[in-house]
C-alpha cells in the first residue's frame, strides 16, 4: 500500500535528504514540499496525507505551534537539530523524533513506527524445482528477480535487502516471506537476519560465510545447520 507524505522544513538540503531516503522505500509517495508552516497549512486544508516530516525551528510559526493548529493531523515524524523538545513532541502524540543528522537505518525505523508495514505478496512468474523468477517492488519500480542471481538476503527492519553481485534492492517484503518463497535446495537461513544462496558460498571460516566481497555472520542457533554443508 502506497503512503503519501509531505516535508515541512525551511532548509532545502533537509528536503533533499528526506526525499532521497524516501525514494529508497517502495511504498512512500511525496505529495508536497513545504518550506514553512503556513505553506503546509494551506496544502493540508485541501489535501490529506498519511505522514508528515516536520522541522521545529521555522520562521513565522514553529513546528509544534503549527501541529497544535491541526484537528486531525497525519502521522508525524519530527526532524530537528534540537533534542530538548522531544518530551513536548511525544505529549503531542508524534510518532518519532529524529535528531539531525540521522542515518538511513534510523530513518527506516521511524517510518516503520509511524505507519507500520503490511508487505505485498511476492508475485511468482515462474516456478521449477531449480529456481524461480518473481517481481519485487523497490525504489518505486517493479524489479524482476531471478533467484539464481541472489547472493544473500538481509533483514532490514520491516524491510529486506536483496544482494546481487554489484548492487542490492531494498524491498518491502519480510525475510520470512523469502524463506517460504525460495527453495531450501538452493537457499539456507544462517542467521535470524540472513538467508544465503548455498551455491554462492566461497568459504566458511569460524562464524563467517564469505560470499563474493561480503561477509555474512552465522547465528549461534544455526551453526549445526551450516555445518551439515561440509560434514555431510
Q: Report pLDDT digits (tens) over 15-51.
A: 999 999 998 887 889 999 999 999 999 999 999 999 9
Complete edge-to-edge strand list for the sheet that includes strand 208-211 = 203-205, 208-211, 214-217
Alpha helices in 76-231 (DSSP H): 86-91, 104-115, 175-181, 223-231
Give me the phi and psi of 78, to 5 degrees please: -80, 135
Asked if pLDDT for residue 12 goes beyond 80, the answer is yes
Mean residue pLDDT across the chain: 87
> What pLDDT was estimated at residue 181?
81
Contact 159, 172 (CB under 8 A): yes
**Which sign, positive or negative, has the C-alpha torsion 45, 47, 48, 52?**
negative
What average pLDDT score do residues 59-78 get?
A: 92
Domains defined for the chain, CATH in brackets: 3-115 (3.40.50.2300), 123-231 (2.40.50.1020)
The length of the chain is 232
Amino acid at each position: 500500500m502506497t503512503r503519501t507524505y509531505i516535508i515541512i522544513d525551511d532548509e532545502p538540503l533537509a528536503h533533499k535528504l528526506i526525499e532521497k531516503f524516501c525514494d529508497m522505500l517502495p511504498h512512500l509517495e511525496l505529495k508536497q514540499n513545504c518550506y514553512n508552516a503556513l505553506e503546509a497549512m494551506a496544502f493540508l486544508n485541501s489535501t490529506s496525507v498519511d505522514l508528515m516530516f516536520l522541522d521545529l525551528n521555522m520562521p513565522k510559526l514553529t513546528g509544534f505551534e503549527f501541529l497544535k493548529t491541526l484537528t486531525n493531523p497525519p502521522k508525524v515524524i519530527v526532524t530537528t537539530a534540537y533534542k530538548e523538545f522531544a518530551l513536548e513532541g511525544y505529549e503531542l502524540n508524534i510518532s518519532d523524533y529524529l535528531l539531525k543528522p540521522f542515518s538511513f537505518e534510523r530513518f527506516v525505523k521511524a517510518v516503520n513506527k509511524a505507519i507500520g508495514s503490511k508487505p505485498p505478496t511476492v508475485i511468482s512468474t515462474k516456478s521449477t524445482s531449480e529456481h524461480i523468477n518473481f517481481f519485487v517492488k523497490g525504489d518505486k519500480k517493479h524489479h524482476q528477480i531471478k533467484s539464481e542471481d541472489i547472493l544473500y538476503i538481509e533483514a532490514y527492519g520491516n524491510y529486506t535487502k536483496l544482494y546481487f553481485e554489484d548492487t542490492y534492492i531494498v524491498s518491502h517484503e519480510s525475510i520470512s516471506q523469502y524463506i517460504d518463497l525460495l527453495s531450501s535446495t538452493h537457499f539456507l537461513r544462517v542467521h535470524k537476519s540472513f538467508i544465503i544462496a548455498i551455491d554462492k558460498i566461497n568459504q566458511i571460516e569460524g562464524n563467517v560465510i564469505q560470499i563474493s566481497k561480503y561477509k555474512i555472520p552465522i547465528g549461534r542457533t544455526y551453526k549445526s545447520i551450516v555445518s551439515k554443508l561440509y560434514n555431510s
